[in-house]
Amino acid sequence: MTFRRLTLSALSLHAAACSSCDPTEDTSLPHDTGDTAVADTTPAIRIVAPVAESSVTGCATFVVEIDNFTLVDFETNTQNVEREGHYHLTWDDGYEPCIELSCVVTFQTEGFQSITAQLMNNDHTPYLDQDEHTIQYAIPLQVNAGACSE
């Protein structure tokens, strides 16, 4: 009998407390959306032009996109600085250090080649991510013999 009175008393209190509640108001507890994404601040590089597997004759202008990394002239900025440097474009028979988002490469050899863009420190050592991996991006390209038309 005591238990029944307590239960009825508790229900009466709850009803009295909620008599002014808005029945359309959402009173549910917040739920976990699973969205724990944190902005990625790791430097990154991508070749956006020319597109992978395209053909070029003699030379090509490469355009890159770079995230979380500042391009600087390595000749005037000789000390390594976090998230700062330049990139190298490398291919089968050469490389070109670049300090702008676009860089012209002249090829000496024709044929299918892999072109890699790699972030570099000011002293030309590879820039490494927090896991000590190089930060690079590669595309295949068909290089044809001929005069550069850039």
CATH number of the domain that 130 lies in?
2.60.40.10
Q: Which domain holds residue 139?
A: 44-144
Q: Judge whether 89 lies within some domain.
A: yes
Q: Judge whether 8 lies within some domain.
A: no
Predicted confidence at residue 101, as pLDDT, reads 98
**Range with lowest mean pLDDT among 5-9, 56-60, 110-114:** 5-9
| Count: domains in the chain | 1
Q: Judge whether 27 lies within some domain.
A: no
Give the C-alpha separation, 31 to 68, whole Å: 33
Give the C-alpha separation, 61 to 74, whole Å: 21
Q: Which of 75, 90, 72 is nearest to 134 (CA)?
A: 90
- pLDDT tens readout for residues 124-145: 999 998 899 999 999 999 999 8
Grade residue 54 by pLDDT with cuts at 50, 70 and 90.
very high
Q: Judge whether 24 lies within some domain.
A: no
Q: Judge whether 79 lies within some domain.
A: yes
Q: Judge whether 124 lies within some domain.
A: yes
Q: Judge whether 120 lies within some domain.
A: yes
- Residues 68-82 have a mean pLDDT of 96
Q: Judge whether 128 lies within some domain.
A: yes
Beta bridge partners of residue 102, listed in sequence order: 63
Give the C-alpha separation, 19 to 124, whole Å: 73
pTM here?
0.73
**Tokens 């024709």, residue?**
110
Q: Tell me how many degrees the CA angle 138-142-148 measures, rounded to the nearest 5.
A: 105
